[in-house]
Structure 1
Amino acid sequence: MKLARIYPFVVAVGIMFALSACRGIVSNPSPHATQATDYAQAVHWLSIPVVSHDVDVFYLYPTAWQKVNASDPNICDIDNPSMLAGSAAAFARSATAFEPFANVYAPYYRQADAAYALSLPLPEHDALIAGIPTMDAVAAFDYYIEHFNAGRPFILAGHSQGSNVLINLLTGYLADHPEVYQRMVAAYVIGYPVTAELLA
């Protein structure tokens, strides 16, 4: 399935989040890297709303944590306190804008450290984000579709790293599930570039 028909609905701001100050970087594997987060557990959701609208928003927050020490894993655990606090703050700043007209669902997902990710050559950066962060987002979205969505139209919304992951969701899961894709109203992938090549 080509994604050309997404083009009128995708809002992309081609400004990538800034690389933080240089520091020693170690290619540390993330713990629990071989298995997606279990989204049947409510504790792994930032927002599960009471359904009161006819449309949903599936929201992925921007980078919400950073490594403290060079020896820290390059991808955080799902219960990382800094990530939990940062994602809640990001949700309050941005995702709440959708609440007057949509049911906003937001999973927690494991993220890459931005300084490490942006230090990598592009193919390695893309592979990093396509790994654990995207694996979690796909698992969360699939659980949302199967257990929460109930056939309603939906909007995808993200920022920075969340938008990067949403692009993978668009070109992977939604390309493979046209019956779900046809219910998508729009995809707001703010803070990450969407190229003509991607949409071809």
Structure 2
Amino acid sequence: MLQSPLRYLYLLLLLLILLPFSSCLSLLKPRRAFAAYAPATGPNYALDSCWAALPTRRDSADAVPYESGLRDEQATAKADVFFIHPTTYYRPASWNADLSEDKLNRFTDKSTIRHQASVFNAAGRIYAPRYRQATLYSFFDEQTPSGQAALDLAYVDLKAAFRYYLVHYNQGRPIIIAGHSQGTAHATRLLHDFFDRDPKLRRRLVAAYLIGFKVKPNEYQTIRPCADSLATGCFVAYNSVATGNDFPPFHPFAVTNPLTWTLDTLTAPATLNRGGVSMDFKRIDPQVTDAKIHQGLLWITPPKPGGYPRFLLPGRPELRHSFHIADYSLFYMNIRENAKARVRAWQLGRR
């Protein structure tokens, strides 16, 4: 049986599939405008409790899949990873999450920190801040300023977290920036505000894994999509969907093939897939899927093993069978090995 956080996630996905889009959104929309809510107390990043992951304690980012033979290598890692988790707050009670909600924090840790942030625990020390994340509806609020205001408030927290990290934790070490979905939206802004404008800090950027959101190839003045598996100071981006689907609004966005780490449109066969990790985190599935870049999307063959959920993206009937939730898990081993390889390439480039 699935653990309770994952049962909740699957229930949400079921609603997104079965209910009409307008009905689904009405369940997720906060009842009042953003300005009518008093935001929850903001985080104090001097407190360990305001971090979902820190390398100095036991947490979900230390996890490795059961009986995988992998191990947490943060104690000896030469780089840092600043990871921003995706949306785990879906309720309409307010526009932004309250960091004092223990149930939500446990959900975040057992789902996204364990299944996504852990992919980097062989490459760097993982720092994952908690933040007043915007509720899921914020991304669909096109009629009022409330959704963007909620996202802006979330980014205020993350900007403060990154500043605290730089002053108190980094100590001049190389940095990987990583996120997914809402986390990637905020990570994209962090690169603008810190790395694109600061050559000294930019020299410490190993790479940014900007997965599960919209990033243009020319998003930055100085940071480009990674051209190969060992490029540094660059970014990786992709959104996974079943082969055969198209969505014109995504055509302009950057895509990296996570099986070859190149930008070409050749199909990378499943034999290059070092292993996906199922949602129960209990197995590694070698050769779970192939990958091909197609007009702003990453086409994949739907995997035969269970545990890699897909769904009809709400409000986007043209884009069927998104594997958004499985963006990391489908390519878990490839990302894990690539992050470690890029850190080594960064170190060699600085000698």
For the residues of structure 1 that align with 2:197 and 2:144, how far apart are their CA atoms?
Answer: 25
> What is the DSSP-based 3-state SS (H/G/I as helix, E as strand, rest coil) of the residue aligned with 2:184?
helix
Match of 1:14 in 2: none
- Which residue among 203, 221, 224 is the counterpart of 1:182? 203
Match of 1:63 in 2: 87
Rate the CA distance shift 1:182–1:83 in 2: closer, same or farther, 3 A.
farther
For the residues of structure 1 that align with 2:38 and 2:101, how far apart are their CA atoms?
Answer: 12
Count of residue pairs brought into register by the alignment: 179
Contact conserved, 2:177 with 2:208, CA < 8 A, in 1?
A: yes
Match of 2:279 in 1: none
Structure number having the greater helix percentage: 1
Residue type of the partner of 1:27? A
Match of 1:163 in 2: 184
For the residues of structure 1 that align with 2:48 and 2:119, how far apart are their CA atoms?
Answer: 23
Please, what is the CA RMSD of the aligned residues?
A: 2.6
For 1:10-159, what aligned pairs fall within 5 Å after superposition? Answer: 21-23=24-26, 24-25=29-30, 26-29=32-35, 30-32=37-39, 36-50=42-56, 51-67=75-91, 70=92, 72-89=93-110, 90-120=112-142, 125-129=147-151, 131-159=152-180
- Superimposed CA distance per residue, residues 141-178 of structure 1 (whole angstroms, 9 cap, x where no aligned partner): 11111111111101001000000011111111333433
Contact conserved, 2:82 with 2:177, CA < 8 A, in 1?
A: yes
Identity of aligned residues (%): 29
Residue type of the partner of 1:138? K
For the residues of structure 2 that align with 1:180 and 1:64, how far apart are their CA atoms?
Answer: 30
Q: CA deviation at 1:117?
A: 3.1
For the residues of structure 1 that align with 2:116 and 2:144, how far apart are their CA atoms?
Answer: 28
- Superimposed CA distance per residue, residues 57-93 of structure 1 (whole angstroms, 9 cap, x where no aligned partner): 10011101111xx4x2111112223431222021101
> What is the DSSP-based 3-state SS (H/G/I as helix, E as strand, rest coil) of the residue aligned with 1:104?
strand
Contact conserved, 2:96 with 2:150, CA < 8 A, in 1?
A: no
Structure of greater relative contact order (alpha carbons < 8 Å, 6+ residues apart):
1
For the residues of structure 1 that align with 2:120 and 2:200, how far apart are their CA atoms?
Answer: 24
Q: CA deviation at 1:125?
A: 4.6
> What is the DSSP-based 3-state SS (H/G/I as helix, E as strand, rest coil) of the residue aligned with 2:81?
strand
Which range moved further: 151-160 or 190-199?
A: 190-199
TM-score, normalised to structure 2, is 0.46
**Consecutive unaligned residues in structure 2, runs of 5 or more:** 1-12, 57-74, 222-351
For the residues of structure 2 that align with 1:40 and 1:161, how far apart are their CA atoms?
Answer: 24
Match of 2:261 in 1: none
> What is the DSSP-based 3-state SS (H/G/I as helix, E as strand, rest coil) of the residue aligned with 1:133?
helix
Residue type of the partner of 1:103? R
Residue type of the partner of 1:108? R
TM-score, normalised to structure 1, is 0.78
Match of 2:215 in 1: 194
For the residues of structure 2 that align with 1:92 and 1:27, how far apart are their CA atoms?
Answer: 33
